[in-house]
């Protein structure tokens, strides 16, 4: 079975640490980390799977992920993160430790040691209300992701001039053929495409844009039209 026929569903708490008073520390970025575990689901062809139940992610034997990075946009509101864009790839993550663990994600590598750690060369995440989108690539293939954010927790740390807030994020990752039209989409283009045909009650990973079949063309969303005009005036 091709990797493109599997949805890799990540679930974990997405945490931001941002300065309470940006004027005191103007060069201090909003830092983020997202940690949890993932489950692979058969989702080739027309299969439209539901995400595993929350209890399934409590299994300690599941492969883990732990990625970190920073905000790259100024879309956030002071009250909490309902909008924002973040970078969570290996350019912002730490190198592997001596025991093999690192910031990244685990995968069965077929060796006696079992799970090994890998990192994404690019991983950009966009939070848009309760919807979450991502694009990226690694040594295996390019990918796109969609998901949802739920809940909200907030903590003040005045002594550190820091506010810590978090949401639980569930995202499904679909790996793509290099020649797939989605493989070269920018984050804003992918978000528009993934939202376009989503009806009421439809899970974000069950929209046509997340199908396993290779896409030879994408719809001309406003963002894509603007990009094409700029590139080919």
pLDDT digits (tens, 9 = 90+) for 39-59: 999 988 766 777 888 999 999
Find the helix or strand (DSSP H, E) in which 171 lies: strand 162-175
Indicate the pTM of the whole model. Answer: 0.85
Structure tokens at 14: 């997405």
**Closest to 122 in 3D by CA, of 106, 132, 135:** 135
Structure tokens at 66: 């732990």
- The pLDDT-based confidence of 20 (bands split at 50, 70, 90) is confident
Find the helix or strand (DSSP H, E) in which 223 lies: helix 222-231
Residue-wise pLDDT for 74-125, tens only, equals 544 555 677 889 999 876 655 544 444 457 899 987 766 688 888 999 999 9
Q: What is the pLDDT of residue 98?
A: 42
The helix/strand/coil state of 70 is strand
The helix/strand/coil state of 123 is strand
What are the beta bridge partners of residue 64?
Answer: 37
What are the beta bridge partners of residue 122?
Answer: 137
Residue-wise pLDDT for 146-182, tens only, equals 999 999 999 988 888 888 999 999 999 999 999 999 9
- Window from 9-18, 25-34, 36-45, 183-192 with minimum mean pLDDT: 25-34
Structure tokens at 59: 């299994």
C-alpha separations of 107 from 39, 40, 50, 183 in Å: 11, 11, 22, 22
């Amino acid at each position: 079975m091709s990797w493109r026929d599997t949805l890799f569903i990540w679930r974990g708490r997405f945490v931001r640490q941002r300065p309470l008073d940006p004027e005191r520390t103007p060069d201090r970025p909003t830092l983020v980390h997202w940690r949890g575990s993932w489950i692979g689901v058969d989702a080739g062809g027309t299969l439209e799977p539901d995400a595993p139940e929350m209890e399934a992610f409590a299994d300690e034997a599941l492969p883990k992920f732990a990625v970190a990075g920073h905000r790259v946009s100024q879309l956030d509101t002071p009250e909490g993160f309902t909008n924002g864009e973040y970078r969570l790839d290996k350019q912002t993550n730490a190198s592997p430790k001596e025991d093999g663990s690192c910031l990244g994600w685990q995968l069965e590598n077929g060796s006696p040691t079992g799970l090994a750690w890998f990192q994404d060369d690019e991983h950009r995440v966009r939070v848009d209300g309760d919807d979450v989108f991502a694009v990226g690539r690694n040594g295996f293939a390019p990918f796109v992701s969609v998901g949802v954010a739920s809940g909200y927790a907030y903590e003040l740390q005045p002594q550190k001039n820091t506010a810590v807030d978090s949401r639980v994020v569930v995202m499904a990752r679909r790996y793509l053929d290099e020649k797939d039209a989605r493989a070269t989409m920018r984050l804003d283009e992918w978000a528009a495409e993934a939202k376009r045909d989503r009806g009421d009650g439809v899970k974000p990973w069950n929209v046509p844009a997340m199908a396993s079949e290779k896409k030879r063309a994408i719809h001309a969303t406003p963002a894509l039209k603007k990009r094409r005009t700029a590139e080919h005036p």
